[in-house]
Amino acid sequence: MNLEGLGWSRRFQSLYIPFDREHHEPGRVVRVDRGLVTTETRQGPTTAVVPGRLDPDGETGPPAVGDWVVLDHAADTIVVRAILPRRSALARRRPGAPDAAQAVAANLDLVLVIESVERGPNPRRIERAVALAWDGGATPVVVLTKTDLADDLAGAIDRANEGAPFIDVVALSAATDDGVDELRKRLGPGTTAVMLGPSGVGKSTLANRLLGEDRFAVAEVRAIDGRGRHTTTRRELVALPCGGCLVDTPGVRELGLWLGAEAVGTAFPEIEAAGRRCRFRDCRHLSEPGCAVAAEVEAGRIDAARLASYHRLQREAERLEERLDPSRRHELRSRERSFSRLIRRTLEVKNR
Ligand SMILES: Nc1nc2c(ncn2[C@@H]2O[C@H](COP(=O)(O)OP(=O)(O)O)[C@@H](O)[C@H]2O)c(=O)[nH]1
Ligand SMILES: [Mg+2]
Ligand SMILES: [Zn+2]
């Protein structure tokens, strides 16, 4: 296996230098089992043991799918020596330690926010997934599946856009391959994408279509309510013929993904942009005098449902943030500042 095809880059090459020894080797985690990881390496698939002392301070947590790890071949058993610092990650509450985060997928470029035409895209769910993607340091792309079942495709795309007005929406059918090339183009060499979406929207079917083989189990839809069952029980990273890598995951809700406050603003750039004209710098756009966001809603230029989502997600993130320790809180705040600076600059360039 060629490491570049798995997303190996100059960045990881540099991070690996301190570990570069005869009996060491880099590998990308494609599957995690209890105490074991399956990695893909130059030599092919390699299973390694994760020692308990790998992460003594508990900051990184155990390796996640998508991590680049250092494998040590010195003894009979291959052991994970280190996790190379992550470029991006989706995190959830660590089981048994609700105030600590644990990565569920690491080193991601794209988060594919999957919704289906069949059940109708849900703008509120899309907003949350978009915020989670930005929070993880990855770019969200909305994927609207099952277009072969559409009575009103344009209406469904509009609905998806409501939840992601500044994000690309790719509409496709994994059954007919219609529109799938548009996604293949975005999943070229060096790109890693993770799929997020409720069960039954067609994630595994799409993964199989991209792979060109039936690797992932597809749910039989229950005739009674049209809902898919939760067949995907583990995460797995696979290399795609179009050059990129893909992670199939169970539904977002089951994952209990972790949302940071700074990312919420990023998912609602129109609200952040208007908020710069509020009378008070720390305006929360609730009912403060001189609130420019409220004025935009009044004028019909900002969707009231978007503002309600913004407040709901902001509260969710803040509650979580309050429970975190002060050092993590500080980190969140400074990230928040740099993120909103980035958005501001982007909007300023756009508005010129
Ligand atoms: N008509 C149609 N059905 C699809 C399409 N993609 C998935 N399905 C069906 O939707 C159901 C759920 O698919 P699955 O891939 O298991 O969804 P997941 O839970 O998101 O992984 C299965 O019955 C699939 O056959 C599509 O593009 N068109
Ligand atoms: Mg599935
Ligand atoms: Zn305001």
Confidence (pLDDT) at 126: 93
Whether residue 208 has its Cβ less than 6 Å from ligand 1: no
pTM of the model: 0.83
> Would you say 260 and 95 are in contact if contact means Cβ atoms under 8 Å apart?
no
Q: List, as one string, the DSSP characters of 264-279.
A: HHHH-HHHHHHHTTSS
Cα gap 245→77, rounded to integer Å: 28
Q: Ligand 1: which residue has its CA nearest to atom 12?
A: 200
List strand residue ranges (DSSP E) for 76-208, in order. 79-83, 89-94, 97-106, 110-116, 139-145, 169-171, 192-196
> Would you say 293 and 300 are in contact if contact means Cβ atoms under 8 Å apart?
no
Cα gap 127→147, rounded to integer Å: 21
Confidence (pLDDT) at 145: 97
Whether residue 198 has its Cβ less than 6 Å from ligand 1: no
Tokens of 133: 């993607």
Strand partners, 197: none
Whether residue 173 has its Cβ less than 6 Å from ligand 1: yes
Strand partners, 30: none
Q: Ligand 1: which residue has its CA nearest to atom 14?
A: 202
Confidence (pLDDT) at 290: 95
258 C-alpha to center of ligand 2: Å? Answer: 21
Domain annotation for the chain: domains and CATH numbers = 4-85 (2.40.50.140), 106-252 (3.40.50.300), 261-351 (1.10.40.50)
Whether residue 286 has its Cβ less than 6 Å from ligand 1: no
Alpha helices in 193-246 (DSSP H): 203-211
Task: Report the amino acid identity of residue 212.
Answer: G
Pairing of strands 89-94, 79-83: unpaired
Which stretches in the chain have pLDDT values below 50?
222-232, 335, 339, 342-343, 345-347, 349-352
Confidence (pLDDT) at 324: 65
